Structure 1
């Protein structure tokens, strides 16, 4: 099994593993595998008056936050936040909600 352990303050915080291995573990535990993340979040039409993830870096900078500060507040790595800001990754709804809450943006849940 190929697992990456992400540490914070010398303690393991997250375990990252390939999607296929995750699905195998879920199957072995008798749980249904969730659907893979899609690009739907990035292709969804913008809601008028609501900022999109394309504005994430501007919103963060407007709040006077560094990538590390926002990432730690949300519970993700600064590297992952940088990938979201560049459009290289699409965060799941829980991360979008945490970003919205920390930036004072309405929405960014499942309907984004």
Structure 2
């Protein structure tokens, strides 16, 4: 078994092991092995295609969100329609105003 031990203040805190070894330990303990997590299981950031719905769910008009982010309403409309891809700074600002995580390029 290949185990990596992570220490904090000189004391073991975590043990990291390969998935196969973890499954074998579960089976030996009489528990049912788990399926490997899929990409959908990961809390992925919302897609930009959902931007309009996210804005509306927050009760914001296009003008309000655009002004809060520091861009024009027209440019926000282009982002919402998929005509333009925002840069990293705009993504961070959109995420902050909408209260979501993960939009960091």
The 5-angstrom pairing of residues 91-106 of structure 1 reads: 91-106=86-101
RMSD, matched Cα: 1.9
State the match for 1:25 in structure 2. none
- What is the match of residue 107 of structure 1? 102
3-state SS, counterpart of residue 79 of structure 1: helix
- Contact 2:49–2:82 under 8 Å retained in 1: yes
- What is the aligned partner in structure 2 of residue 80 from structure 1? 75
- Mapped partners of 2:58, 2:79: distance in 1: 17
Deviation at 1:50, TM superposition (A): 2.0
Change over 3 Å in CA distance of 1:61–1:69 after alignment to 2 = same
**1:29-61 deviation line (CA, Å, top 9, x unaligned):** xxxxxxxxxxxxxxxxx9743211000000000
Instruction: Mark the structure with the bigger radius of gyration.
Output: 2
Q: SS at the partner of 2:84?
A: coil
The answer (yes or no) to whether the contact 2:44–2:102 under 8 Å persists in 1 is: no
Using the size of structure 2 for normalisation, the TM-score is: 0.59
Count of residue correspondences: 66
Q: Counterparts of 2:52 and 2:61 in 1: how far apart (Å)? A: 9
Q: Which runs of 5+ in 2 are unaligned?
A: 1-39
Taking structure 1 as the reference length, the TM-score comes to 0.55
- Runs of 4+ aligned structure 1 residues displaced above 6 Å come to none
- 1:70 matched to 2:65: yes
